[in-house]
A and B are shown apart, each in its own frame.
Chain A
């Protein structure tokens, strides 16, 4: 096991990729109203990995759903990559998501009938690239995540860790400026979880790209440049770290 140090982020990459100001989110109405977020202020910097951590139900998933443009806040302002999400609606919001945001899900969410390369190519296909071209690009990204020999495998032929690596390749293939990962290690054993986090650090964290990882797995806290601790719909504290992680 070796220990690597991450070089400090450059000034340019520290630009604020996500800015949340006074974000609240309510679900339900009247007596059944639940306040999932209570005036959250958050900055996520490019070139960094930000971990959102906290107990189940603390609002982490709600917050990344809002940041990713999948959910509207009840109040507050969210700016992603310099674009206020309030100003984006309908097709423009969908296009914005497709172009600039990559997603990694807890359960991988790979299409079972597509090969690893085809799955990884989906964002490019959505963006309008030709299938052959998209798959060719996806193959190179799969090679980068160590799955060169599995490009033609179906998800059912891959282990959980391998499927999550395909999902990471899919999230990166269109070179998004923001990567949103929801519990990427929750469905994996400890070793696979470490592998996935190392991969995210090595491949995903780049100057100009912000990575947000929602997790409650304290074994992976060491991979984050910042750890945002949430509790009861609010940010409790932000822990900044000089990252060192094992690989």
Chain B
């Protein structure tokens, strides 16, 4: 064990020997990390839920729409002819119609509920749900068949067993549940139903135009962005790769709602409160130890080694606090999912990979700032002060 390591051992003994302050510093960092990561995860989850229907549609990589559309729920129906125009664009392997809208369902008990209705291509069933809990996507070919998402089913029929064959009406037309699927949670928490395009337009309130989106697939070895540009040039529609449409939708909500600001404030509060608790306690811890640092200086420990000791103490509480905080956020998330498992209410958090990285950076900043603030006192300490 080298000299430096042995001094590190002394630094750790000093840190962990003062248990009350040690726990308080770790708690401060943990609390900040938990609050920041948990709030950021809820924000990311909400953003993700806004684009659930875009991400759940598999197979197509291009979404073409009316140029006035700003996000997925901002519908400007197009003429059915649009799909033919997209099919005629070089680089497009295939294109199909997608109906996306909301319909009001009336149940036998007389109550009404709003649904998201996705009408997929009658022939190919492209865009059908990929994760079925009961039934299969091809059951949509049965008369009046719709597939309902599991969360929606639990919301509509709370506490009742999941079963097929339930019947209700939309726009005075009969609908029968022929499948239960897993779908990503939606922002507005409406149940999500899948049916064929032709049936979906009958369930919806009648409008002259009913085509919400054209889903297209670019040919192999073609860049979807390039194909999108061609679709736009040739048809006058807006065409976006799937990811870009998701980002456009999220961007709209971020620009036009107070969601990011409010979550940002909470994350900032977490940072400030955590930094205050951890920073202040770490500072007090260092002040408590000034006499000992002074003694070590007098006995022949140089400033550089003292800096190393304080930074090590900061790093240890930072890493521990970060791990505990992130664990607490994940535990909280899992607990919420477990508690909500039968309620039909989706949990809206999503620990996107930048969140642990961002909170790690924030925790590092808290610890670094605390350590540097404390070090000012330690470095300015005259060794002769041990005699005062």
Nearest-neighbour CB distance to chain B for A156, whole angstroms, equals: 10
Asked if A65 meets B387 with Cβ closer than 8 Å, knowing A109-B292, A114-B10, A130-B1, the reply is yes
Which listed residue (B16, B301, B386) contacts A109, Cβ 8 A? B386
A70 & B17 in contact (Cβ 8 Å cutoff):
no
Query: Does A97 touch B at the CB level, under 8 Å?
Result: yes
Chain B, residues 1-44, CB within 8 Å of chain A (1/0): the string is 11100110110011011100000000000000000000000000
Which listed residue (A97, A105, A114, A131) contacts B387, Cβ 8 A? A105
B382 & A71 in contact (Cβ 8 Å cutoff):
yes
Measured between beta carbons, the chain A residues less than 8 angstroms from B294 are 109
Residue of A nearest to B288 (CB): A112
Residues of A within 8 A of B (CB): 61, 64-65, 68, 70-71, 91, 94-95, 97-99, 103, 105-107, 109, 111-114, 118, 122-123, 125-128, 130-131, 134, 182
B13 & A123 in contact (Cβ 8 Å cutoff):
no
Report Cα–Cα, A103/B295, bound state, in Å.
9
A-B pairs with beta carbons under 8 Å apart, 8 shown: A98-B299, A98-B300, A111-B13, A118-B13, A123-B299, A126-B3, A130-B6, A131-B9
Nearest-neighbour CB distance to chain A for B268, whole angstroms, equals: 36
Which listed residue (A91, A109, A123, A128) contacts B291, Cβ 8 A? A109
A113 & B384 in contact (Cβ 8 Å cutoff):
no
Measured between beta carbons, the chain B residues less than 8 angstroms from A113 are 13-14, 16-18
Which listed residue (B1, B14, B301, B387) contacts A94, Cβ 8 A? B301
Residue of B nearest to A91 (CB): B302
Asked if A97 meets B298 with Cβ closer than 8 Å, knowing A111-B292, A128-B3, A130-B6, the reply is yes
Measured between beta carbons, the chain A residues less than 8 angstroms from B291 are 107, 109
Measured between beta carbons, the chain A residues less than 8 angstroms from B7 are 125-126
Nearest-neighbour CB distance to chain B for A127, whole angstroms, equals: 7
A109 & B295 in contact (Cβ 8 Å cutoff):
yes
Asked if A105 meets B6 with Cβ closer than 8 Å, knowing A113-B16, A126-B301, A127-B300, the reply is no
The B367-388 residues at the A interface (CB cut-off 8 A) are: 382-384, 386-388
Asked if A122 meets B299 with Cβ closer than 8 Å, knowing A113-B18, A114-B13, the reply is yes
A61 & B388 in contact (Cβ 8 Å cutoff):
yes
| A-B interface contact total, Cβ < 8 Å | 84
Q: How many residues of B contact A (CB 8 A)?
A: 29
Report Cα–Cα, A3/B345, bound state, in Å.
89
A94 & B302 in contact (Cβ 8 Å cutoff):
yes
Residue of B nearest to A171 (CB): B299
Residue of B nearest to A125 (CB): B6
Measured between beta carbons, the chain A residues less than 8 angstroms from B386 are 70, 103, 105, 109, 182
Nearest-neighbour CB distance to chain A for B373, whole angstroms, equals: 23
Nearest-neighbour CB distance to chain A for B6, whole angstroms, equals: 5
Report Cα–Cα, A109/B6, bound state, in Å.
19
The B275-318 residues at the A interface (CB cut-off 8 A) are: 291-292, 294-302
Nearest-neighbour CB distance to chain B for A117, whole angstroms, equals: 13
Given contacts A109-B291, A122-B10, 20 further A-B contacts (CB under 8 A): A64-B387, A70-B382, A94-B300, A97-B298, A97-B300, A105-B386, A105-B387, A109-B295, A111-B10, A111-B17, A113-B13, A113-B16, A114-B13, A118-B13, A125-B3, A126-B3, A128-B2, A134-B6, A182-B386, A182-B387
Asked if A103 meets B298 with Cβ closer than 8 Å, knowing A70-B383, A113-B18, A182-B387, the reply is yes
Chain B, residues 81-92, CB within 8 Å of chain A (1/0): the string is 000000000000
